[in-house]
Amino acid sequence: MKILKSIALSGLALAIAGAMSLTSCNGGGNTSKSDSTANASSGEENTILGAGATFPNPLYSKMFSEYNKLNGLKVNYQSIGSGGGIQQLTSKTVDFGASDAPLNGKQDSALSAPAVHIPITAGAVVITYNLPDVKDTLMLTPDLLAKIFLGKITKWNDPAIMAANKGAKLPATTIVISHRSDGSGTTNIFTTYLSKVSKDWESGPGKGSSINWPAGVGGKGNEGVAGYVKQTPGCIGYVELAYAMQNNMAFAKMQNKAGKFILPSIASITAAANIEIPADAKVSLTNTEAADGYPISGLTWILVYKEQKYNNRSLDKVTKMLKLVQWMIHDAQQYCAPLNYAPLSDKAVAVGDAQLKSITFDGKPVLQ
């Protein structure tokens, strides 16, 4: 922008400015797609562009704000859902993508080069509901949850729900389902869990970041689902724990594999995440074997290309981005628990460090 201001008095500069405006908006004219992508991806040297998961957005907002206070680096993060983040990483219009689901084979194949996964935190997908007159915490079994979202249980006073909640005064209200309408890692965690615990779900809707829902109304982002549940009596949905906490929403205890009804919390998420992390960091925490683990837990990742020399990117900017991510998995873990996310285990941090050190610029490691 400073360059444009300095030459704004020149007629030639106005033409250049117009061309640059088209480029930054991915416009047409004589600007090539590759030039447009390069300009959008690189941005200002002191601004990092990211997009993706809404699941960790409250935490990322805090982390990026604190890092800006430390060294002035700006992070422009668009909380648009994991699917959108992966699409923007694929098109190289952002410096990093963010996802609550690791890349699958099809997504890997769509990339122009290999990407690495850096785990940032673990969180819980909670089952939130709007039953104003129910004072006790709702308890749900895996079978109940699957049948509700399959549309097979349609009333809150269904005998099966009553049996799991003895003594609770459940209304005859119709169950209204809210789910994500956008491509979502939160949906991937939730549907992966349902596919593990229900044969009907596995052979029906199945798992993925975006599925054909058998029932319910869609909302965009965790924000959309949380908002719909909060304003609709009788509604049930799934959101990240922080959104339910921030909006003072009720959420259920889920029966885990050990038969215990577990409330999502830092302790129960940490228990679920205390597992071996593979070298590529791709792992699912759902339906945990841990006796005290919350069963619908998951990691969230930042995704970057392993080779960073593309689209006229500078080594300086790449180094700034990777140092930011390095700080996120070390010093910034202090911000996880206050926002209801579980800090990374030592094993997860070690894998994240190894992934960061594998990233190169022109074939040479960026971080030592």
Say how far apart CA 178 and CA 224 lie, in whole Å.
9
Statement to judge: residues 225 and 338 lie in one domain = no
**Residue 77's domain spans which residues?**
2-20+30-122+300-365
**pLDDT, tens digit only, all 368 positions of the chain:** 443 334 333 443 333 334 333 333 333 334 344 443 444 444 478 999 999 998 899 999 999 999 999 999 999 999 999 999 999 999 999 999 999 989 999 999 999 999 999 999 999 999 999 999 998 999 999 999 999 999 999 999 999 999 999 989 999 999 999 999 988 889 999 999 999 999 999 999 999 989 999 999 999 988 899 999 999 999 999 999 988 998 899 999 999 999 999 999 999 999 999 899 999 999 999 999 999 999 999 999 999 999 999 999 999 999 999 999 999 999 999 999 999 999 999 999 999 999 999 999 999 999 98
Strands (E), the chain: 47-52, 74-79, 96-99, 115-129, 139-140, 176-180, 217-219, 235-240, 250-251, 253-255, 261-262, 297-305, 360-361, 364-365
d(C-alpha 140, C-alpha 134), whole Å: 14
Residue 261 and residue 165 share a domain:
yes
One domain, residues 288 and 148: yes
Helix (H) / strand (E) element for 324: namely: helix 315-329
Q: Is there a single domain that holds both residue 109 and residue 184?
A: no
Indicate whether 235 belongs to any domain.
Answer: yes
Q: Are residues 93 and 129 in the same domain?
A: no
Contacts of 207 (CB under 8 A, 6+ apart): 188, 191, 192, 194, 195
What gap in Å lies between CA 95 and CA 156, rounded to an integer?
Answer: 46
- Cβ–Cβ contacts within 10 Å for residue 338, how many? 10
Indicate whether 272 and 340 sit together in one domain: no
CATH number at 41 reads 3.40.190.10
Would you say residue 25 lies in a domain?
A: no
**What is the number of domains present in the chain?**
2
